Amino acid sequence: MTSIHPQQIFAKSILLADGWQENVLLEHDSNGVITKIKPQTEKPANFSGKVIDGAVIPGMVNNHSHAFQWAMAGLGEVSGEASGSSKDSFWTWRKAMYGFVENIEPEDLNHIASALYMQMLKAGYTSVGEFHYLHHDKNAGFYENPAEMSMQIFEAGKNSGIDVTLLPVFYRYSGFGAQAPNDGQKRFIHSQDDYGHLLEQVHLLSSEYNQSYGIAPHSLRAVDKSDLEFAVKALRSHSETAPVHIHIAEQTKEVDDCVSHYGQRPVEWLYDNLSPDDKWCLIHATHLTDGEVKSIAESKAVVSICTTTEANLGDGFFPVLDYKAQGGRWSVGSDSHISVNAIEELRWLEYQQRLREHSRTVLVDGANSSTGHWLWTQAAQGGAQSLQQPVGQIGVGYKANLVELNLNSMTFVGKSQQQLLDAFIFNHQFVNDAIASVWVRGQKVVEHGEHASQGIIEQNFKTSLGRLQTS
């Protein structure tokens, strides 16, 4: 509902869809949605709104998160085998993850996710897609409230102030051919009926918390065709536009196993059987043929590129340059949260392509264009599509999710307005130094590197991690 008295923000310098503008008056309603933009105007007399002195850019979207994994970031950097003789990989890392997740209680998930989302906000992320698969208690039983863990994610969003799109994971099997789940997966598993009931509850919770949701069939190895069809149908009974996210073609083993079982590669099989469209988001997709790149681009689906996690796990490179040439849509996520830094995701993405092409400024619009501008705006807009949310740019009908750059930072000394995003992504090393404030739905949640609720969030996180380390 629109407020009778719209709230106002006066930005001295702001990046709108058509470029940088000076002295811009924004008005937004009670839900933080922008209702009016007046560029090149004078600040009204007796102005009672908020003034932003630095340069304002759209908040970034983190469209792929497994919140609980942030608490174990750095714990998987040892050989996956006791002997050290075996080649380490995603599959050995996964064993460590299963061991860590065993003891997480609902309160712990709340504390971990709240702290993670606080860090995201401080790094310039204002929206998150939570690919959430920790559902059950330690014995694989349902909590008294089967959506208990989903509720804790929404609570963490409330505690931190970030925009959350909850993507409850549908997970049935441990591998292709309906292989029985292993013990490490016991807290993730749902039947079709149970997942349908969970989705109904998430639908209600999303309204209660004023947040959004979609679905996340985990992967082609974790669900079969009937499960995928069921999940999409169940989602569409609640919403025609809510997003569908799925891990796909992440590891070479997954590709090989899919070919062995289905006789097709993962993306090939998915497009022949489910026909993904612009409401779908394919996570990773690091192992593709030229034909698969073309299929994704033509479908208008979004690919989520999680550069730091893909590098950490040794999974591979997404062929973003080939994909870009075909108009493909993409976004970024921090996934396992080995890094919670939008700048790192984008910087590494560009550098991967430079190494591949033996060239510089690869991901640009054309001659004399800004690499940083293209990376930031494309990732934010692709992320918005992947969550089906009005975010990712600053305009009428979009949420006032804003990042204020600190023009007093040494990062920006001597830089023109057109060079700010290049300096932001490629020059500085300390996120909080370059970011003056962060706003979600028109409300300031971070100022001078500090979150409004930082003290209690940090204390709760330390309490939970202390317990988990001794359990």
335 counts as catalytic:
yes
How many residues are there in the chain? 471
The active-site residue out of 335, 337, 422, 451 is 335
Element (H, E) at 308: helix 307-313
- CA gap 71, 56 in Å, rounded: 31
Beta-carbon count within 10 A of 470 CB: 7
- CA gap 249, 260 in Å, rounded: 14
* CA distances for 206 relative to 131, 147, 209, 394, 435, angstroms: 15, 12, 5, 24, 30
**CA nearest to 443, candidates 13, 52, 113:** 52
284 counts as catalytic:
yes
3-state secondary structure of 268: helix
Helix axes 225-238, 192-208, angle to 10 degrees: 30
- CA gap 255, 268 in Å, rounded: 10
Check: CB of residue 16 under 8 Å from CB of residue 6. no
Beta-carbon count within 10 A of 192 CB: 16
Check: CB of residue 270 under 8 Å from CB of residue 264. no
φ, ψ dihedrals at 224, nearest 5°: -105, -175
Element (H, E) at 110: helix 106-122
Token pair listed for 314: 């040794």
Check: CB of residue 317 under 8 Å from CB of residue 286. yes
- What is the 8-class DSSP label of residue 144? S
The active-site residue out of 28, 64, 284, 451 is 284
Token pair listed for 20: 């940088």
* Residues identified as active-site: 284, 335
